[in-house]
Amino acid sequence: MTVATAPRLALYRVTFHDGRAISLNAANSPSAEAAAKRQHPGGFVRKVTFLRMVSK
């Protein structure tokens, strides 16, 4: 018998060149970067920082 577990997500902070920072949950850093770019179109990502693991 297999128990289904919820996927574990990580909390990332994506910082843009203009100083704006967006914190969000994502499965990995590339998906966090893509989600942040959708929220701040036209911005250049400066860095993506892993903050901590979260369970949903």
Between 5 and 42, whose confidence is greater? 42
Judge whether residue 4 has pLDDT over 90: no
* Residue 44 near residue 16 (C-beta atoms within 8 A): yes
Supply 6's token pair. 């919820």
The residue extents of the domains of the chain are: 8-55
* Residue 25 near residue 11 (C-beta atoms within 8 A): yes
Cα–Cα distance measured from residue 20 to residue 7, given in angstroms and rounded to the nearest whole number: 28
Q: Per DSSP, which regions of the chain are E strands?
A: 8-16, 21-26, 45-55
pLDDT for the residue numbered 8: 80
